[in-house]
Amino acid sequence: QSALTQPASVSGSPGQSISISCSGTSSDVGGYNYVSWYQQHPGKAPKIMIYAVNNRPSGVPDRFSGSKSGNTASLTISGLQAEDEAVYYCTSYTTTSPVVFGGGTRLTVL
Amino acid sequence: QVQLLESGPGLVKPSQTLSLTCTVSGGSISSGGYYWTWIRQHPGKGLEYIGYIYYSGNTYSNPSLKSRVTISVDTSKNQFSLKLSSVTAADTAVYYCARDVALTANFDYWGQGTLVTVSS
């Protein structure tokens, strides 16, 4: 199964906003509203930040938001904070297998 | 609060079978609506989907691993397990168990992960 395409890295200064894209196909991102985003700090398990495209689990700051247009989903983090520095993964339900992951994007807070 | 905890050997010899168990607490595996999943992460790499099991016993395995993967469930112990046969160094990874809500790629709870090294 082909992975979803994410940029390898993004960066931003504290207080700024950044977006991470997640490109797929009509068989995954474009075909279903089941895109999730995960944050992973070094040595830790991934943590769900967004599910079903734009829903935030309880406890996730509203600085994190998700959206989708066509075959591309996006995670936006506004008011960037040092603690947001991590690797972010997108996932999607897919017709070919239950789940496909993106390759991950390393966010650096300058 | 649901918690998942992986357990099993941290070192497996090449050609042998890797066996891991995920113990679920704070919720029942049999409650339905959740798909109990194994995911792995090679050192310094991204996430790889291994497969899932539903409490009824229905399973799915990644085609790239399918012939080597067995996922089972023991509802009486509130556990599910992964067996990966004929391992090689390429199977060295951190293995996570996680709960997928209704098979929507919403992994709301994860285990802490366990590093399994394949080496003689």
Residue A93 has pLDDT above 90, yes or no: yes
Distance in angstroms (rounded) separating the CA atoms of residues B84 and B18 = 5
pLDDT at A97: 84
pLDDT at A98: 87
**Rounded average pLDDT over A54-77:** 97
Residue A3 has pLDDT above 70, yes or no: yes
Question: Are B47 and A101 inside 8 Å of each other by CB?
Answer: yes
Question: Are A93 and B112 inside 8 Å of each other by CB?
Answer: no
pLDDT at A2: 59
**CA B47 from centre of chain:** 12
pLDDT at B66: 72
**Rounded average pLDDT over A78-97:** 95
- Per DSSP, the residues of A4-66 read BB--SEEEE-TT--EEEEEE--TTTTTT-S-EEEEEE-TTS--EEEEBTTTBPPTTS-TTEEE
B45 CB neighbour count, 10 Å cutoff: 12
A91 CB neighbour count, 10 Å cutoff: 32
- Which residue of A52, A98, A101 is in closest CB contact with B46? A101
Which residues in chain B have their CB less than 8 angstroms from residue A1's CB? Answer: 49, 62-64
**Rounded average pLDDT over A72-76:** 98
Q: Do the beta carbons of residue A29 and residue A35 sit within 8 Å?
A: yes
Distance in angstroms (rounded) separating the CA atoms of residues B84 and B72 = 12
Residue A1 has pLDDT above 70, yes or no: no
Q: Which residues contact B67 (CB under 8 A, 6 or more apart)?
A: none
Which tokens is A82 given? 């040092």
Q: Do the beta carbons of residue B66 and residue B8 sit within 8 Å?
A: no
Which residues in chain A have their CB less than 8 angstroms from residue B69's CB? Answer: none
Q: Which residues contact A97 (CB under 8 A, 6 or more apart)?
A: A1, B49, B60, B62, B63
Residue A53 has pLDDT above 70, yes or no: yes
Question: Are A51 and B104 inside 8 Å of each other by CB?
Answer: yes
- Which residue of B49, B62, B112 is in closest CB contact with A45? B112
What pLDDT band is residue B32 in, cutting at 50, 70 and 90?
Answer: confident
Residue A68 has pLDDT above 70, yes or no: yes
pLDDT at A104: 96
Residue B117 has pLDDT above 90, yes or no: yes
What pLDDT band is residue B104 in, cutting at 50, 70 and 90?
Answer: very high
Distance in angstroms (rounded) separating the CA atoms of residues A42 and A25 = 30
List the one residue out of B60, B72, B66, B69 whose CA is nearest residue B29: B72
pLDDT at B31: 87
Q: CB contacts < 8 Å between A and B, how many?
A: 69
Which residues in chain B have their CB less than 8 angstroms from residue A35's CB? Answer: 105
Residue B17 has pLDDT above 70, yes or no: yes
Question: Are B105 and A51 inside 8 Å of each other by CB?
Answer: yes
pLDDT at A107: 98
Radius of gyration of chain A (CA): 13
Instruction: Please provide the average confidence, as pLDDT, over all residues in chain B.
Output: 95
Which residues in chain B have their CB less than 8 angstroms from residue A102's CB? Answer: 46
A80 compared with A3, residue with greater pLDDT: A80
- Cα separation values, A110 from A12, A15, A81, Å: 6, 11, 10
What pLDDT band is residue A55 in, cutting at 50, 70 and 90?
Answer: very high
Q: Do the beta carbons of residue B54 and residue B35 sit within 8 Å?
A: yes
- Which residue of A36, A47, A104 is in closest CB contact with B105? A36
**Rounded average pLDDT over B80-89:** 97
Instruction: Please provide the average confidence, as pLDDT, over all residues in chain A.
Output: 95
Closest-CA residue of A relative to B46 is A103
